[in-house]
Amino acid sequence: QVSVTMAEDQCDHRKLTRHEDAEVIVVGAGVLGNAMAISLARDGRSVMLIERDWSQPDRIVGELLQPGGFKVLQKLGLEGSLDDTDCHHTHGYVVHNCETGQKVDLLYPSDDITGVPCEGRAFHHGRFITGLRRLSREEKLIQPVHGTVTSLLYEDDVVRGVKCRVKGDDDVTEFHAPLTVVADGCFSNLRKSLVATKVESRSQFAGLVMHNCPQTRPHFAEVILANPAPVLVYQISSTSTRVLVDVPGQKMPADSKEYLRNKVAPQLPDHIRGPFLDALSTQSVRSMPNSFLAPAPILKHGVIILGDAFNMRHPLTGAGMSVALHDVHFWKHELQGIADLHDTERILAVQQSFHWQRKMSHSFVTNTLAQALYALFAAADDGDMKSLRRACFEYFCLGGDCTAGPISLLSILQPSPWTLIYHYIRVCLYGVYLDTAELPWWKRAAAPWIALRLAAASCRVMLPLAFSELHFTRR
């Protein structure tokens, strides 16, 4: 209650014009929208939070929060959103190689200060969002609105708010604020007017929920390197386990159940196959496109676009929510230094800084790692990429720094671009060694040719991703 009183006192110093409804309008009450609205309200900002559907969402993704993301959730004071969700603690990954029957454990690193192993969280997506919305409703400076935003409201090329169709009202209502935050998700209808880059989708996730499914190792998510693409398995409550099957292509197969039953199920580990087939026989197969959207700076006055509306990567690594929370943490800190949000030039300067700072702090690694790992793990028909996939798995099996480095990136605890590049090069070199070691001694003079082939395959993956991160596209 003390923080709310202080917030209201602070709000008196930020006078709105008579036409403005709030200091900030946030479009979308998902993970980022709620986190942003709560953070700004706790700093004394009046916030209008607009959402088209306030019922509990039901999605098959957005259910795994990496340790780096969970730490930021705690820094933002939002860990209470997980109360009563029956969330599951995660300690790392078990990676299965279907071709060889091998498996390797990737354990999250320990905290540098306490020495306690770091943990992530897995949960039903809808329960987490409901928890965040509960925290939003507790903030007196947040005004929730049930409606659909149809467009941004411009005045002299400056965004001054939104046009919204409020539920139960046939007319379009205009809401005004000096700053608008667009966070309306992967299917954003406002993105087109702000973002120059295009959404790409190379595959779909087919999702089911398995009940009372055993785990290879308690509290460990599982990645199954199947053919033609990986399968992701993780427990989301005390009795429910999510399974996500990557299906390459723009569309799901005509008979998705037959595909999953005949193509995927035979490759699954024994302890998963039974619960998988049970779920397949009783549930409808739900799908979600796996999209990639490279981040580009949106240098327009009066508006910020964040979350999946701004930047997406393949969900294989479970990085999306962690990226969103890191971005909220950045903006919360920066906006604390701007008393008057009508100062659009200062906010624009922060946007330019944000675009590059987030790359070094988290986004370059999370975006590049997700896309690169998917390219390796879904290498069904490319011989060189299959060599790199094998090298990646065998590299993990070496242990030591070969495990600790990659899992520090995957967990988003130490997302250094240089660490990513270092291990990516080492995997490539290890692939050359493995392919050369299999040759008879009289053929090993071909090692330079193998090195060139694998280096070219690595560059085909990494260079376009690096370019998409570093290319400066204005809109």
Encode pLDDT of 372-412 as tens digits.
Answer: 999 999 987 788 999 999 999 999 999 999 999 999 999 99
What is the β-pairing status of strands 47-51 and 24-27?
parallel
**The pLDDT value given to residue 74:** 98
Closest CA to 424 of 365, 337, 383, 380: 365
> What tokens appear for 90 in the block?
């995660």
3-state class of 197 per DSSP?
coil
- What is the pLDDT at residue 17? 64
Q: What is the C-alpha to C-alpha distance for residues 332 and 75, in angstroms, rounded to an integer?
A: 11
Q: What is the pLDDT of residue 4?
A: 33
Helix axes 31-42, 2-11, angle to 10 degrees: 80
Alpha helix (H) residue ranges in 338-380: 344-358, 364-377
Q: What angle do CA 421, 427, 433 make, to 5 degrees?
A: 140
Q: What is the pLDDT of residue 12?
A: 42
444 C-beta neighbours (distance < 10 Å), count: 12
Structure tokens at 154: 């411009």
Sites in the chain below the pLDDT cut of 70: 1-18, 471-475
Q: Note the pLDDT of residue 5.
A: 32
Residues 6 or more apart whose CB falls under 8 angstroms from that of 402 comprise 395, 396, 423, 426
pLDDT at 291: 95
Distance CA 255, CA 439 (A): 42
pLDDT in tens, 35-71: 999 999 999 999 999 999 999 999 999 999 999 999 9
Determine the Cα–Cα distance for residues 254 and 454; give it in Å rounded to an integer.
Answer: 35
Determine the 3-state secondary structure of 17 from DSSP.
Answer: coil
Query: Residue 223 class from Cβ within 10 Å (0-12 exposed, 13-18 middle, 19+ buried)?
Result: buried
Burial class (CB within 10 angstroms; exposed 0-12, middle 13-18, buried 19+) of 158: middle
> Is the bond into 248 cis (omega within 30 degrees of 0)?
no
Report pLDDT for 8.
Answer: 40
How many beta carbons lie within 10 A of that of residue 24, not counting itself? 23
State the pLDDT at residue 468: 85
